[in-house]
Structures are given as structure tokens and as C-alpha cells.
Amino acid sequence: MKYHYKKLGITSYLHSLYEDGLNHSADQSEASIEQTILNIGIFRFKGYAKAFLKNLTSYSIDDIIAIHDFDRQLSSNMFFITSSIEIKMKAYLIEIVYSVTDNPFCYLLAKNYKEAFTLPFESIQDWEVFPTNPPKKSEVYFHYRDYYLNTYDFESNQIAYIQSAPMVSINVPKNKDPEIIREFNYPPFHYFVENSTLGTLINIISKLQIDSNDILKLLGKRFGFYTPRLFLNYLLRLKELRNRCAHNGRIFNRNFRGLRAYDKHREFRKTIYEHKILDVYYTLHVLLGNEDDFNTVDDLISRFVSVYMVGLDNKLKDFVLGFVRTR
């Protein structure tokens, strides 16, 4: 079936909500409300309004805007937590890899992956690894350029650490000459990890195996997981949330990827729905290593309310809880 776009103006959309029973603002003019929705974006705003449609007469346009504001703050706080986990993961990863190899360019060796692996072009390009003459100081990581690029060359490192062993492929964009990869002065693993996106990092972790050392398994143990596949699922959920937060996606009233839970998390599933944000919130605490702060689902809810629902009245708190934990 062909999709037909129906243009919907803010004024007519608001009028339809009021006709269906939504109450007007208690203290804002219609012009002010329309400007607020314009700033939010009508498509995004409709995502918040949808949660109210079953009972519009009990709420006002102010309530929908309040939920939007709550969601933006929630997204900001969730992003901070995902960043904390990412920092922890990078630190552990560097430590683990250098405990099983003294090759700082191990990530470039094709033999160190469980299957054929392609390195994202952006993960190398972002370091501005192309040698320039005269040297430019446009690199964000000044210590990298000053200490590494101006001192070391990859040809010497390749002779010492790669030799004639096959290297991983790089997905060079179509508008780039494939030979460009020969110009790269590839960074050592610890530099590379610090600049990798979470998605690239998880992809590498899931496939990296140095000699008989499965990096996913070793890293999972540091996070308290003894099943690599289960740990990877938690990381993929982390990536999904991180991407939604980073790209300003709506967090409230969204379903998240399913996840096979274990131990206490499995017990919590009797009360909270696995695809909702409260379940994702607990996932973050498992990865942070402080899941023992929550003995019961009530403990989890209490923390969520006290941290994220400040400023919401009791009616809206009850409203939000109905969406963050159930279908």
C-alpha cells in the first residue's frame, strides 16, 4: 500500500485535540502553545500526545508539554549513565587486551578476529591520521598528534608488529580511492579505543579473539557476566538507548529491544515489562555494577521516581509509571 502523507498544521492539530476533550492551557496563550509545539516539532509532539489519547478529558495541553520536558531530562540523564558505562568498558577493554598481548596494533591483524572483520573507515579517519607537511595542529587530541603522529610512522610499526600478516579490511567509501588506506598512520589500540564510537567498540569486542583469548568473554567476566552472548545482549541494549539519547529520540512510551534476563533481573520481569524503560534502566545498573542497590522492583521504582520525576505532580507521576513499566 502506498503511503500518503497528510500535511497537518499545528493550529488544526490542536483544535482536533481540544475537540476530543483535551483541556486548554491554564496559563499560556494559544500563540505561546503553538510556538512551543513548533519548537518541539509536530511529529515529535504527536508521539507524546498519543499516550494521552485514551483519556484526554483528564489532562491539558500543559500536561503533554510537561511530559515532553520530563522526557528530555530523562534522555539527558540516561545519556550520562550510558557514557559512564562506556568509559568503564573502554578502560577494562584496554587493560584486558594488553594483558594478553604486547602488540599495540593487534586490532589490525585479521587473525585476531573470530570471523572476517571490516574496520569502519570513520574510526580511523576521525583521528586525522593522514600525515601532513607541514604538520597541522587541527587534531582535537593534541597529545596524539604531538606525541604520536609527529614521532612515529606506521611503516616502522608494520614491520615490527604486523610483518607480512594479513590486515583487516577497511570499508573505504565509494568516493575515496581504496589506496588511501596505505597513507594511514594507524593509532595504537589504546588510542583507537578512546575515540571509537560505542557501536564500533561493541562490534570489535564481539569478534576480537587474540590467540585463544575471547575478549567478549573476558570483558563480560569483569562486568559479572559468565555467558558472553548474554553480556553482548546487554551491550546491544546499551547501544540502542545511547543512540536514541544521542539523536534526541523519544524515550518515554517507546519499546526497546528484548533482552534475556538472568538472576534478579529475571525475577523483576514478573512485574515490569522487558521492552519498557524501567527494565532498560535496571539494565544500566547491572552494567554499572550496582544492581544490588535494588532488592525489589519497588526499590527500582522509588529510585526512578526520586531521580527523574522531580517537578511532576502526583497525577503525572502515576501517568508516567503506567508507561515505563507495563505494556
- Domain extents for the chain? 10-60, 108-197+206-210
Average pLDDT over residues 53-77: 95
Which cell is 185 given? 598512520
Confidence (pLDDT) at 139: 46
CA 223 from centroid of its chain's CA atoms: 18
Confidence (pLDDT) at 195: 82
CA angle 37, 61, 317 (to 5 degrees): 110
Is residue 141 pLDDT above 60, yes or no? Answer: no
Query: What are 248-285's pLDDT values in tens digits?
Result: 999 998 899 888 888 889 899 988 999 999 999 999 99
Q: In sequence order, which residues have a C-beta less than 8 Å from that of residue 50 and are 6 or more positions away? A: 253
Which cell is 303 given? 529510585
Confidence (pLDDT) at 4: 76
Measured between alpha carbons, how far is 291 from 265 in angstroms, rounded to an integer? 9
Give me the chain's average pLDDT, please.
89
Confidence (pLDDT) at 145: 67
**Three-state helix/strand/coil letters over 266-287:** HHHCCCCCCCCHHHHHHHHHHH
Measured between alpha carbons, how far is 24 from 29 in angstroms, rounded to an integer? 9
Phi, psi of 223 (to 5 degrees): -95, 5
- The full DSSP string for 166-181 is PBPEEE--TTS-GGGG
pTM over 0.85: yes
Query: What are 25-52's pLDDT values in tens digits?
Result: 999 999 999 999 999 999 999 999 999 9
